[in-house]
Structure 1
Amino acid sequence: MHAEDKKTSAKERIEAIDDENKTISYSLFDGEVDKCYKSLKVTLQVKDKENGGGGLVKWTIEYEKLEENIKGAAPETYLDFAAKVTKDIDAHLLKA
């Protein structure tokens, strides 16, 4: 995982999978995440496009910092990583 141009690592735990709503929620922990956040939860939802030509991906990040003024990766820095994951999922689905 890359955040703010530095490599970092974290573990993830799947919290919920909702096939009907095409949603996966998971929490990140360990590594740099535990140094900055009490909790960091990510939700990925895919919505079908109205014309039937693919889908739209929505990422939601919910977090609670350990301290308000703590230095570390801002949650939005993980969006580049989310974009890469989205592209990888897209490539995988196109092969199927």
Structure 2
Amino acid sequence: MSESDVERSHGMHVVHDGPRQAPPLLLVHGSGASGGTWKPMIPALAAHRHVIQVDLPGCGQSPPAASGRGGRGARRVGRPHRDGGAPGGRVGP
């Protein structure tokens, strides 16, 4: 079972699951979706990772961005594990 806590960061709805001292895993949803996309997988992932789910601006529980400027004041959470998929594109190094 995961411990979950919700916050709003830079206007975005952010959900943390699992132990904060575990290696971070950032989950970003696809176009037109929300962080809820990952819900069925969270218990297994949060058993060994600090799972961070975001609702990007204008999706899920995040309001639309106020302006086109972003990325200012981001906080470092360590080097997250990256994996994912994109239709017609490559994700990762």
Q: How would you bin the TM-score normalised by the shorter chain? A: 0.3 to 0.5
Choose between structure 1 and 2: higher strand proportion: 1
TM-score normalised over the length of structure 1: 0.35
Higher-RCO chain (CA-CA 8 Å, sequence separation at least 6)? 2
TM-score normalised over the length of structure 2: 0.35
Larger radius of gyration: 1
